[in-house]
Amino acid sequence: MPGDLGDFGGDAPRHDHAPGGTQVRLARDLTLADATLLGVGALMGGGIFIMPGIAAAVSGPAVWLALALNAIVTIPTLLVYAELASAYHDAGGGYLWIKDALREPFGFLGGWMSWFSHAVACAVYALASGAYLVFLLQYAGWAGPDTPAITLKLAALGITAFFVLLNYRGVKAAARTENAVTSIVLVVLAIFLVFGTLALFKHPEAAVQRLHLGDWQGMLPFGFTGVFLTMGLTFIAFEGYEIIAQASEEVRRPKRNVPLACILSVVIMAPLLVWVAILSIGAVQSPDGGESWAWLASKGEVGLVAAAGQFIPFGVGAVIVLVGAMLSNVTALNSTIYSSSRVSFAMARDNVLPRVFARVNPRSQAPDASIVFSGLLIAAMAALLPIEAVAAAADIMFLMLFFMVNVSYIKLRKTTKHMDYGFRAPFFPYLSIVGIAAQVALAVALYLYSPVSWLAAAAWVGVGLAVHYGYARRLSPAPEPRTEKAFDIHAAERRGYSVLLPVANPATLGSLAAVASDIARAKGGDVLLLHVVTVPRATLPSAARHFAEPAKPFMRDAARQFPRDVPVHTVIKIAHDPAKAILETAEEEGTDLILLGWRGRPSLREHVLGSTLDPVVREAPCDVAVYRESRSGSPRRVVLAARGRGKHAKLGAELAGALAKARGTDLVALTVITPSGAVEPEARLASVVADAGIGPWEAQFKTVRAASAEAGLLQAAQPGDLLLIGASDEPAWHRQLFGTLPERVAARAEGAVLLVKRSSPRQRMVVRGVNKLAQAVEYLKPEQVQKPKP
């Protein structure tokens, strides 16, 4: 049963229903690998480089045991996040779930604590980055061993200011750029693990002695209390799935990929965290002959860097791991500033924070007020508290947030049965109860470790209550019940055959709307009108919804150009890349045909049809047709120039028959005879026409003699004709899109031309692989901020 066993489902598109029937959707750019690496990056930045040295001071050589127990303790909350994130695909994560499940002030406090927990986590990353910078200066001989603590604080504040400024200016690295950095850090981590493991097994007896395996008294110098305190202190290392939930509105197939990414990130990183802790003690020795764990503890947040210097050869170990640690922390810092501002932005959008936090800078398209205030929180925590206390404060806030999420989940499981879940956590509600108990126990332990951190967390909650009762309670609207029902223009029901028609401007829709209507009518289907609002990669998708407002009136105008007997549905999609938005919509809707308009040859030589049309034609998950309207009047005849008996020729015959039937016009099947022979023998052409269900009395067969196939087609296609040409049957690597001949004819013909291509899953897979390689460098290029294109 779904309620008893964890299971993954398929996916459905996310719809944000706008007044007037037009759906506003956000394009999803992140794949399963992207989302998983997002969580892995957060896990690495939050614990793997920072925590071993700090935790060793609390639990001695049992750091690995505390991390292993934490990996077990986090499982209930991980599964809860996986289930809820499979159904809720909005920015906000735990805040939205708490708001939907619990009465105020808990809904507000969920967002308030989520905002603070992300900001405090940023302070941890900033302080660690400052410590790494000071270590680098000392390693280079530019600073002495007794560098004052104020230097570390100033370095942390400088790094914070730099990344707050970057986010303020809208310079947000693309997800794949961050994933490239995460991949580099994983390589650094692999180097550490390989050489550390070799050193460990080179002297296994010494490693056992350093770890005090089998010697409980030696392994637990601070007793089980030390292990318990370390579990609370290192809990931040397992909060990566919250970052994934924050980004769920940008993940493709979120119902499947978001829960998978949450689980995979922990499955990948939990064993690595434990093994790194073992190596950082078992593979090193104290220079003074003392305990390895005591030496590691004396190094604090740079303990892992110092450990690497002992067993990675050629004297470069410390530098390699230092570079990886700095990359990991600054990437986590940048991402968490980004996600922190998302939470405050979402709260302001819900009228529970002042509207200034929902303000979007018109130049950078970034929520500037949210970013600045988050930056002030980060700077205050980094300046006022040591890194141990800051880490404890972050742990407390995440524990409180996860506690509320688990409580919310128990209620939501009973009240949201109408929602479409892609994953169900097992053993409801017992796992959640275990998670709640563990989080309460760890939060109490952190009070024993750092009372000042608890005071900081309590003060923030107190300020939050004051804001709620003094401001938010008066303005926040009543929550609306969530629903999966979709609303479409004309109140039309979706039919079997679907034509996707991207539209940039209804004024230029003209004959393209007529072609789409005729095909849909003949096939007994409907038309989906899609308008893509392009925004820069720096722009928060949730911050870009207002860009859809100017497009709604002209989408209504576009829909009115279709006859009433053809159902029309309208969608506005906010995206970074229009071609990807078209492809994504086709996959979401199960589209049968994508119909694209083409004005003629592009100005750039590297494109055949255009920068948007080319990738759509190459990677379309369905049949695709490109229409170039007549240069001299409306088409009066449909002329079919089928080439071969392949899939493209058959599609051309099907569409030619549908258009001729819908328009009540003549259908002409054309044969061109050249000196080298007939381009398409009439008997074979007749077979293609018959296979399309067109009777011999419904088509006229015409033969034209010409010097070349191109000349014959241009000669036969009169200005009042609509010429249909199927793509060449030659392999994909021999032709660019439709083939040389169809593309040349389409560019030169006086009449209207419709190029058609049947979908090929195998070719599409090859093309996508080649495009991934070609675009890898593009993802690393800095992007200039630009205004959205309507």
Tens of pLDDT, residues 209-268: 999 998 999 999 999 999 999 999 888 888 888 878 877 877 888 889 999 999 999 999
Q: How would you label 695-722 residue by residue, b for 16+ Cβ within 10 Å and e otherwise?
A: eeeebeeeebebeebbbbbbebbbebbb
What letters, b where the CB count within 10 A reaches 16 and e where it falls short, cover 252-290?
Answer: bbbbbbbbbbbbbbbebbbebbbbbbbbbbbbbbeeeee
Candidates 552, 479, 495; CA nearest to 528 is: 495
Report in angstroms the alpha-carbon separations of 284 from 49, 204, 274, 314, 557.
Answer: 16, 12, 16, 16, 72
Alpha helices by DSSP H, listed for 450-575, are 451-467, 473-475, 510-523, 551-559
Pairwise CA distance, residues 398 & 381, whole Å: 16
Confidence at residue 67, expressed as pLDDT on a 0 to 100 scale: 94
Q: Tokens 């614990």 map to which residue?
A: 47
pLDDT of residue 76: 95
Q: How many CA atoms lie within 13 A of 504 on its CB side?
A: 11
Q: How many CA atoms does the CB half-sphere of 750 hold within 13 Å? A: 11
pLDDT (tens digit, 9 = 90+) per residue, 75-124? Answer: 999 999 999 988 887 766 777 888 888 877 888 888 888 888 888 888 88
User: Tell me, what's the pLDDT at 158?
Assistant: 92
Give the pLDDT of residue 408: 93
Closest CA to 117 of 339, 371, 435, 406: 339
Residues of the chain with confidence (pLDDT) below 50:
1-20, 172-174, 478-493, 602-608, 731-735, 767, 770, 774-790
CA distance 207 to 214: 12
- State how far the Cα of 645 lies from the Cα of 728, in Å rounded to an integer: 10
Neighbours of 140 (CB within 10 A): 9
Alpha-carbon separation of residue 338 from 247, 371, 519, 723 (angstroms): 10, 8, 45, 51
DSSP for 500-520? EEE-S-GGGTHHHHHHHHHHH
**Phi, psi (deg, nearest 5) at residue 724:** -105, 125
Write out the E strands in 244-359: none
Distance, CA of 246 to CA of 236 (rounded, Å): 16
754 token code pair: 């419709």
Q: Are 40 and 266 in contact (CB under 8 A)?
A: no
**Which residue in 73, 76, 113, 74 sits closest to 93, CA to CA?**
113
Distance CA 78, CA 258 (A): 12
Nearest alpha carbon to residue 489 among 443, 544, 530 = 530
Return the pLDDT at 495.
57
Which token pair is 272?
């690595």
- Give the integer Cα–Cα distance in Å for 3 and 270: 26
Residue 530: other Cβ atoms inside 10 A: 24
Return the C-alpha torsion angle 151, 154, 160, 164, nearest 10: -150
> Rounded to the nearest 5°, which phi and psi values hold at 92?
130, -30
**Dist. CA 64–CA 610, nearest whole Å:** 56
Residue 784: CB atoms within 10 A of its CB come to 9
Cβ neighbour number for residue 631 with a 10 Å cutoff:
11
What is the pLDDT, as a whole number, of residue 721?
86
Predicted local confidence at residue 403, as pLDDT: 94
- Coil, helix or strand at residue 640: strand
Distance of CA 531 to the CA centre of its chain: 21
Q: Which of 725, 656, 670, 721 is nearest to 518 (CA)?
A: 656
Q: What local confidence, expressed as pLDDT, does residue 485 receive?
A: 34
Closest by CA to 236, choosing from 23, 358, 389, is: 389
Distance from C-alpha of 730 to C-alpha of 704, rounded to nearest angstrom: 24
Question: Strand pairing of 16-17 and 752-757?
Answer: unpaired
